[in-house]
Amino acid sequence: FFVWWWPVITGVSLNKYLLQCHCIVSNVGFNLCFFPMHYFGVCGLPRRVCVYESGYAWINILCSIGSFISAFSGCFFVFILWESLVNKNV
């Protein structure tokens, strides 16, 4: 939705190569963050646990890495918007 209306509102287009990179990074981050939580559920762990058992620490670290990648992808999207305004991609 936003990618469609950005050129209409601002008059500049977004870099398609950077948008494809953003899509890949965003999907990797999302899946690394949320897919391991399904494993937690299959193992019978309740939601909203403050401290996991030591055997589940690697999954918690994997979810944390995925959340950092997702946050980076959000910052990367802001950079793509800024880059389109600075370079005046038409």
- For residue 3, give every residue at least 6 positions away whose Cβ sits within 8 Å of its Cβ, in sequence order, or none: 14, 19
Q: What is the pLDDT of residues 64-82, one digit of tens each?
A: 999 999 999 999 999 999 9
Look at residue 54 in the predicted model and tell me its pLDDT: 85
Q: Quick check: 8 pLDDT over 90?
A: yes
- Considering the entire predicted model, what is its pTM? 0.85
Read off the tokens for 40.
């937690």
Per-domain boundaries in the chain: 28-90
Q: What is the pLDDT of residues 18-59, one digit of tens each?
A: 999 999 999 999 999 999 988 888 888 877 777 778 888 888
